[in-house]
């Protein structure tokens, strides 16, 4: 679908160009991953991609929306931004690795986003498990890091017990968001970080890195340590070594130092008494920023 494709004049930062997308896909070649569909507006790219999974969409099929009105993040949070101000994209994954290893998929997707942003000159990191962040305090001087984007992975169950089904990973990145459009002081955008980024090549870069990371992980049959995925994740995880507060689903807080990431991608938090707790799910807050 055309969204203001015009190569004869300079493009506004929020104007989508199908021509730029085609150029980026042509440069990527086979590493572009799969078919890409661009739509003007939708409620949720994840919902759209899930519908396409049920229609047989292949691995790497991606839905990109210029505007997303009902975007969702982890822990049922809402992700919204003005039309054209962010990259809203969902990608179909059909992993061949054992289902028990799929917990690494959202972390792998986060690593792909960090790598894709790096191609565009944006130095980002991951706050466990997969928030895309910029190191440093929030924009009002409070504790950081500054959140640039986030991910939501949803499994699509297969029709038969032996069928592991598929997964859809939703990716939201703040690109052209301005100061007065930030939802919270801890949010940021590539524009506010001083880097001019076009969404079209960014999307293709993220897809290319996602493909490569998935290949390594699946060739090792989902073994994150053997594939090198785990060590790479530890390198880009800003949370490691931080004093953190983790709010877990039952509502109790855990305080301590984020001391390790285990082989399953879980966070290890060590308290002042030296007692370590493994965290599989929770909301992590950095008590101090660096």
Domains of the chain, by residue range, sit at 18-236, 243-286
Residue 142 structure tokens = 């409070």
- The span from the CA of 75 to the CA of 66, in Å, is 24
CA angle 133, 66, 35 (to 5 degrees): 90
- The span from the CA of 160 to the CA of 163, in Å, is 5
- The span from the CA of 180 to the CA of 157, in Å, is 41
Residue 270 has what pLDDT? 97
Residue 97 has what pLDDT? 95
Closest among 79, 28, 50, 41 to 203, alpha carbons compared: 28
10-residue mean pLDDT profile of the chain (290 residues): values are 45 87 89 87 94 93 92 59 92 95 96 98 97 93 92 84 81 95 92 96 96 97 97 97 88 91 95 95 80
Residue 2 has what pLDDT? 42
Residue 70 has what pLDDT? 73
Fold observed for domain 243-286: SH3 type barrels. (2.30.30)
> Taking a C-beta distance cutoff of 8 angstroms, is the pair 26, 173 a contact?
no
* Sign of CA pseudo-dihedral 1, 23, 7, 123: positive
Cross-strand pairs, 67: 41
CATH of 18-236, one of 3.30.1330.10, 3.40.50.360, 3.30.930.10, 3.30.465.10: 3.30.930.10
- Global pTM reads 0.91
């Amino acid at each position: 679908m055309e969204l203001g494709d015009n190569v004869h004049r300079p493009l506004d930062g929020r104007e989508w160009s199908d021509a730029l997308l085609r150029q980026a896909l042509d440069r990527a070649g086979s590493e572009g991953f799969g078919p890409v569909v661009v739509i003007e507006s939708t409620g949720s790219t994840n919902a759209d991609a899930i519908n396409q999974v049920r229609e047989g969409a292949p691995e790497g099929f991606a839905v990109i929306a210029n505007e997303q009105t009902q975007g969702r993040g982890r822990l049922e949070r809402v992700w919204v931004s003005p039309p054209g101000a962010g990259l809203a994209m969902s990608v179909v994954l059909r992993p061949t690795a054992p289902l028990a290893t799929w917990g690494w998929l959202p972390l792998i997707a986060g690593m792909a986003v960090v790598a894709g942003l790096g191609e565009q000159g944006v130095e980002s990191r991951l706050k466990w498990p997969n928030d895309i962040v910029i190191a440093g305090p929030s924009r009002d001087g409070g504790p950081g890091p500054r959140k640039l984007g986030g991910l939501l992975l949803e499994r699509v169950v297969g029709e038969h017990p032996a069928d592991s089904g598929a997964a859809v990973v939703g990716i939201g990145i703040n690109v052209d968001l301005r100061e007065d459009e930030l939802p919270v002081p801890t949010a940021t955008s590539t524009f506010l970080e001083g880097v001019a980024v076009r969404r079209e090549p960014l999307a293709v870069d993220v897809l290319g890195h996602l493909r490569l990371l998935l290949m390594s992980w699946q060739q090792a049959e989902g073994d994150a340590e053997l594939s090198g995925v785990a060590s790479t994740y530890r390198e880009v995880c800003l949370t490691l070594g931080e004093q953190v507060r983790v709010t877990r689903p039952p509502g109790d807080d855990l305080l301590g130092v984020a001391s390790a990431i285990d082989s399953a991608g879980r966070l290890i938090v060590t308290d002042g008494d030296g007692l370590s707790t493994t965290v599989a799910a929770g909301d992590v807050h950095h008590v101090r920023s660096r």
